[in-house]
């Protein structure tokens, strides 16, 4: 039997269906987080744009975690250019993601891997 650490991050997050559910719940958490929802609620008002953003989030996470999906969106600096995201806002996003992973019973080692990735791209998004 393959140990959890021998599986790809994609597999540990539940593959396409698990990542899809995690993305949906993380978006919902962002929409309900008063510290950051002003950034996210306007996106929801345009269903076509919302679907596009949601699909980019899914393919970014799926592709980046070792899945077969191909991310075709903008790179992180370009996607967040001009948003001037603060450190605090970024931390709220990470907190929402970590809470979502808890909700989906993701193990601690996998959560640490996701957290490492989130911190590794932070400088490409904060203050841009």
The predicted structure's pLDDT at residue 25: 97
pLDDT score, position 77: 81
pLDDT on residue 78: 85
What predicted TM-score, i.e. pTM, was given to this entire model? 0.88
> What angle do helix axes 15-31 and 47-64 make, rounded to 10 degrees?
130
Q: pLDDT 10s per residue in the chain (128 long)?
A: 555 658 999 999 999 999 999 999 999 999 999 999 998 888 889 999 999 999 999 999 999 999 999 998 888 888 888 888 899 999 999 999 999 999 999 999 999 999 999 989 888 888 76
Closest CA to 109 of 5, 11, 19, 22: 5
Give the DSSP H/E element, type plus range, for residue 17: helix 15-31
Torsion sign over Cα 23, 108, 77, 90? positive
Place of tokens 């709220």: 92
């Amino acid at each position: 039997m393959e140990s959890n650490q021998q599986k790809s991050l994609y597999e540990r997050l539940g593959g396409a269906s698990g990542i899809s559910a995690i993305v949906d719940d993380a978006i919902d958490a962002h929409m309900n987080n008063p510290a950051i929802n002003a950034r996210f609620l306007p996106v929801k008002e345009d269903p076509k744009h919302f679907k596009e953003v949601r699909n980019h989030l899914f393919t970014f996470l799926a592709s980046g975690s070792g899945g077969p999906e191909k991310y075709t969106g903008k790179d992180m600096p370009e996607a967040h250019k001009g948003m001037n995201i603060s450190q605090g806002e970024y931390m709220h996003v990470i907190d929402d993601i970590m809470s979502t992973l808890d909700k989906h019973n993701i193990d601690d080692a996998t959560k640490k891997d996701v957290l490492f990735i989130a911190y590794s791209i932070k400088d490409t998004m904060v203050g841009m």
